Every structure is written in C-alpha cells, then in structure tokens.
Amino acid sequence: MKNLLVSAIREFSNGQAFEDDVTFVIVKVV
C-alpha cells in the first residue's frame, strides 16, 4: 500500500515540489 502511495505521489508530482498543501488518501478494497 505504501508502494502504491509513494508511486502515486511520484507519478503525480513528476519530481516537482508541491507549491500548495497536498493531501493524498488512497483506499484499497481488500
């Protein structure tokens, strides 16, 4: 799950620093 979160942050940020506050929440059905 952490991998997914980290990967999502990388994918979405594309290596940039966020200029605004950022909140990501991932919910996976298991």
Partner 1 sequence: MAEYGAISEAIQKFGLAFDKKQIFEIVGNYVSRTCANSVAVFAYPESGGFEASVISAEPLGDEALDRIEDSMTPLLAKYCSPGENFEDGRYPVSRLKFESCVLRDASAAAGPNPRKRQGDIKGSLLIPIFLGNRVYSIFGIFGESELDMSRETASDMVVIGYMAAMSIKNHSVTRSMISALSEAERRMSEEAARASRAPALLALSRKLASQKTVDGVMDATLSAYREMFGVARVAIYSHNHHRRELVLEKASFGHARAAKAGIPEDSGVAGAAVQKGQPYFRRPYIDDTDEIAAIPLFGVSGVSSGAITLFDRSKKLNFEERDFELMWTIANMLSVALNLVKIQSMAESRIAEKGSDHKIIESLVTLFESRSEVASLPALTAETLGKIFTAGSIAAFEADPGGGLKNVYLSDAVSGPSVKPLELEPAAARSIFESSVAQAISGDKLVARTGDNENRHGGKLFLCLPVTAEDGRNILFVAHDIEGDGIAKAADRTLVAAVSRAVQAAFDSSGQAAEKLLTVQNGAESEICRQIQKKLVPKADGTYEKFEVASFCEPSQSPGGDLFDFIRAENGNITLLVADVSGKGVQSALISAMLRAQVRSLIGGYPEPRKLLHTLNNLICEDIDLYNFITLLLLQLSPMGGRAAFCNAGHNPVLHYVRDGDNVVIHESKNSPLGILKNMEFKEGILLLDRGDILLLHTNGLCDLKNSSGDFFGRERSPTSFKRTRARTRNR
Which residues of this chain interact with partner 1, rule CB under 8 A? 1-5, 7-9, 11-14, 16, 18-30
Residue 15 CB, nearest distance to partner 1 (Å)?
Answer: 10
Q: How far is the CB of 13 from partner 1 (least distance, A)?
A: 6
Residue 4: C-alpha distances to residues 1, 15, 16, 19, 25 (Å): 5, 16, 18, 22, 11
Write down the least CB distance from residue 30 to partner 1, Å: 5
For residues 24 and 8, what is the distance between their CA atoms, to the nearest angstrom?
9
